[in-house]
């Protein structure tokens, strides 16, 4: 896989996605280093060009959808709307959870922490920046790695953020997941959810971010970032469930993992809604025995476009990774998958896999897959591949012969296809939420 040099991405002038930094908070309570970071990010954002065809990371993308002029920071919701959103979120959460936070238009409207273990820190990101800045600083937006989304990353860093900071000290284990709901609404509204998770030696935590629209149709933009740091023997599971309105909503999710010695990180992406989605996932195995697993289950219909870019970066000996993405496409939908396994010099005895499978439910649907390998070490075991196909007539006939109508048979097969990826995640409560959402989406698929 050949990557476009950075200088080639600078050939186009910058486009004014925003006229001013999307900041809504008072900077007085924020540390100076963060204010400097945000100022530098805005300068970087205004200097960077919009994505273009000269950048390999945007190959096959519909660049006409990447025009965001006129978006403004989302306004606060009313008290009555907040109550309704909290009720929606509470009705869906599992019976057992370590913590539950609900954000609406970038603002916290509800929080509970009934199962948070002693010693764990779980705070809204704005509060953590104000009260524990030294704990955040070594990890907060420190990565320069991007897969084409540098302009989105700069805009995110320049904005007022919502979301959570989680710090689990040595040996701290959460038995139940942390649930976070992010709601967005209002014409031309933009929000910036941020998740920073630090698991120290042998700590364990599972987090699920759910992205939803407050109401139906509406032009909205979500620019999210999830940063995961697992130290020696630490274990993190992070899942992003995107179920925004498929009429007008656009969603960008940047995700970065750093796995230390013998650490294990699982990342899951489930995309069901939104008109246009861009996922970028970078997994870095930086020390002996690190393991990263990345799973995706995406159900696209109508004219939805899901654009997925990944990097599995092996930077130490005896590291492992596994990527398993599944896309089910209907009507005129499109998916793009571009993934690279990079085994860096000296990262001997790497064991890495990459698989993308596309289930085509329509002759008009389009799936683009670009798996890749770059190996600069010895004694490695790496493989990559992609397949696309339709539901076979034999499968439909087999189920119809047992009294199942053809349309129900197609639904069952498609559900099983996507659920294979979801089932690789840990924890029944998390998987049940995802299974239910996928099944709900199929009701609206023609």
Which residue, 79, 223, 93, 90, is CA-closest to 163? 223
pLDDT at 54: 85
pLDDT band at 396 (very low <50, low <70, confident <90, very high): confident
pLDDT at 20: 84
Q: What are phi and psi of 156, to 5 degrees?
A: -60, -45
pLDDT band at 3 (very low <50, low <70, confident <90, very high): very low
Joined together, the tokens standing for residue 54 give 């000269």
pLDDT tens, residue by residue, 174-206:
999 999 999 999 998 999 999 999 999 999 999
Count up the domains in the chain and report the number.
1
pLDDT at 27: 60
Q: Is residue 427 part of a domain?
A: no
Q: Is residue 412 part of a domain?
A: no
Decide: 257 and 228 in contact? Cβ < 8 Å: yes
pLDDT at 12: 40
Secondary structure (DSSP) of 192-240: -EEEEEEE-TT-EEEEEEEEEESSSS--EEEEEEEEEEE-TT-EEEEEE
Decide: 267 and 236 in contact? Cβ < 8 Å: no
Q: Is residue 14 part of a domain?
A: no
Q: Is residue 184 part of a domain?
A: yes
Q: What stretch of H or E contains 395?
A: helix 393-400
Q: Is residue 218 part of a domain?
A: yes
Q: Is residue 325 part of a domain?
A: yes
Joined together, the tokens standing for residue 434 give 């995802």
Interatomic CA distance for residues 200 and 301, integer angstroms:
41
Q: Is residue 3 part of a domain?
A: no
Decide: 199 and 238 in contact? Cβ < 8 Å: no
Which residues span the domain enclosing 219?
A: 27-37+73-143+159-392
pLDDT at 230: 98
Pairing of strands 121-124, 162-168: antiparallel
Q: Is residue 126 part of a domain?
A: yes
């Amino acid at each position: 896989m050949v990557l476009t040099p950075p200088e080639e991405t600078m050939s186009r002038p910058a486009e004014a996605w925003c006229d001013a930094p999307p900041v809504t908070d008072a900077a007085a309570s924020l540390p100076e280093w963060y204010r400097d970071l945000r100022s530098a990010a805005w300068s970087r954002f205004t200097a960077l060009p919009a994505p273009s065809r000269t950048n390999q990371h945007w190959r096959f993308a519909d660049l006409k959808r990447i025009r965001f002029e006129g978006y403004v920071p989302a306004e606060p919701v009313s008290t009555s709307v907040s109550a309704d959103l909290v009720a929606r979120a509470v009705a869906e959460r599992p019976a057992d959870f370590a913590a539950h936070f609900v954000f609406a238009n970038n603002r916290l409207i509800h929080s509970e922490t009934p199962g948070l273990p002693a010693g764990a820190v779980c705070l809204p990101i704005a509060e953590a920046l104000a009260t524990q800045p030294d704990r955040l600083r070594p990890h907060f937006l420190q990565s320069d790695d991007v897969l084409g989304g540098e302009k989105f990353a700069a805009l995110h860093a320049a904005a007022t953020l919502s979301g959570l900071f989680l710090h689990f000290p040595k040996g701290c284990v959460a038995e139940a997941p942390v649930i976070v709901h992010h709601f967005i609404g209002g014409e031309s509204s933009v929000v910036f959810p941020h998740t920073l998770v630090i698991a120290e030696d042998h700590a364990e935590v599972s987090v699920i971010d759910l992205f939803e629209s407050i109401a139906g149709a509406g032009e909205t933009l979500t620019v999210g970032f999830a940063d995961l740091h697992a130290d020696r023997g630490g274990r993190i599971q992070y899942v992003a469930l995107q179920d925004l309105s498929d009429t007008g909503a656009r969603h960008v999710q940047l995700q970065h993992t750093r796995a230390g010695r013998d650490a294990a990180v699982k990342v899951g992406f489930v995309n069901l809604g939104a008109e246009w989605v861009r996922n970028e996932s970078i997994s870095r195995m930086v020390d002996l025995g690190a393991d990263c697993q990345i799973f995706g289950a995406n159900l696209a219909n109508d004219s939805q476009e899901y654009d997925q870019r990944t990097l599995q970066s092996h930077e130490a000996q005896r590291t492992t990774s596994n990527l398993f993405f599944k896309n089910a496409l209907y009507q005129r939908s499109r998916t793009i998958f571009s993934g690279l396994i990079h085994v860096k010099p000296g990262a001997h005895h790497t064991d890495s896999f990459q698989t993308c499978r596309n289930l085509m439910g329509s002759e008009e649907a389009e799936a683009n897959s670009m798996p890749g390998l770059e190996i600069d070490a010895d004694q490695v075991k790496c493989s990559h591949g992609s397949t696309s196909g339709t539901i076979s007539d034999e499968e439909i006939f087999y189920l119809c012969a047992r009294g199942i109508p053809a349309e129900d048979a197609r639904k069952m097969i498609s559900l099983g296809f996507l659920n294979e990826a979801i089932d690789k995640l840990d924890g029944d409560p998390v998987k049940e939420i995802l299974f239910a959402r996928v099944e709900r989406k199929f009701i609206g698929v023609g």
